[in-house]
Structure 1
Amino acid sequence: MRFTRWFTAGWAALLAACGSQGPAPSPAVVSPGAQQATVAAAHPTGPSRSWDDYKMRAARRIHETSPAETFAGPLPDPLRSIPVLQVQLNHDGSVRHINVLRMPRQSPETVEMAMRAIRRAAPFEPVGHLPQPWQFNETFLYNDDLKFQLRTLAEAP
């Protein structure tokens, strides 16, 4: 598939180029009681053992909390929009900041849509037991109806 080869090569180049980070903004304020209940309900199997496991759980949570904005099935070729976001987290799994790593030329409004999906899914599980930096990247794959699949889930075995 033409898109897959291009996307894989482009993703590798993007990851290589995105090693630097800017200053961290102040943490978001979230009610501890509400956050603990949300995290416990979303992650009943215990803490993630690695960043790969964490990213998969975060992707599932984003997908589950945005059912009206997602689509299933094969990816269209070409996709309408592909924003790539870096999610910086606080120790407790709340979102500290979201950086845009790739701004799509086609349908740039999908960046804000993707950010809303991440914020809706937050807080994620705590990350204090994982190595720093406490962050993960996610690629949103939008179709012509402006519904998304997450690259992490689309590539899962």
Structure 2
Amino acid sequence: MKIRAAIALTACVCVACSTRGPDTPSKRDQEAKKLINKTDTTSNATSTAFTFEGYKKDIAERIAEVNSTKVYIERPQALLRAVIVIKYVIASDGKLLRSELVRTNHDKAAESIALLSLNNTAPFPKPASHLLKNGKVEISETWLFNNDGRFQLRTIALPQMTE
């Protein structure tokens, strides 16, 4: 009986591994977000970051994780396609209250990707109470875009190439 169960389990694993995944980056992002939402409870938890910079890093890592197919994982190229700075406000419960473009080179596609990556990630982990001012925390983050349209967040980016 144990052998049959083991064979059945092996067959299921083989079928699951051979199933074709999503065909487009958008579908991959949707599937990744579903998996993260099923397994990740940080959006309902309080961040363990004690400092503002630590909380900002936690948020940047979460944005990169949720939007992984849009993130460039190597060093950013020397001459970037776009640099987008967004100021956003997170409430004490982790909800995204508002966001606004602070700096842009008017690359509408990059602006859209940056804003969507932020919105797709919400809600965020709750900030520690000592980081709040009037019940919220305000963060500015820089999206660094390579020519292929993928980005890194300055808070967690590798050093930019020089040539």
Q: CA deviation at 1:79?
A: 0.2
- Compared with structure 1, are the counterparts of its residues 46 and 151 closer, same or farther at alpha carbon in structure 2 (3 Å cutoff)? closer
* 1:112 matched residue in structure 2: 112
**Secondary structure of the corresponding residue to residue 83 of structure 1:** strand
> 8 Å contact 1:39–1:123 — kept in the other structure?
no
Give structure 1 stretches of 5+ with no counterpart.
Answer: 1-36
Distance 2:47 2:127 in 1: 12
Distance 2:47 2:91 in 1: 18
Distance 1:149 1:43 in 2: 25
Give structure 2 stretches of 5+ with no counterpart.
Answer: 1-37
**Identity within the alignment, %:** 25
- Aligned pairs, number: 120
Q: CA deviation at 1:43?
A: 8.0
Taking only aligned residues, the RMSD between alpha carbons, in angstroms, comes to 2.6
Who wins on radius of gyration, i.e. which is larger? 2
- Compared with structure 1, are the counterparts of its residues 45 and 128 closer, same or farther at alpha carbon in structure 2 (3 Å cutoff)? closer
TM-score between both structures, scaled by the size of structure 2: 0.65
* 1:149 matched residue in structure 2: 152
- Compared with structure 1, are the counterparts of its residues 131 and 41 closer, same or farther at alpha carbon in structure 2 (3 Å cutoff)? closer
Q: 1:104-139 deviations in whole A, cap 9, x for unaligned? A: 24x232112111101111111112601315111110
Distance 2:101 2:74 in 1: 26
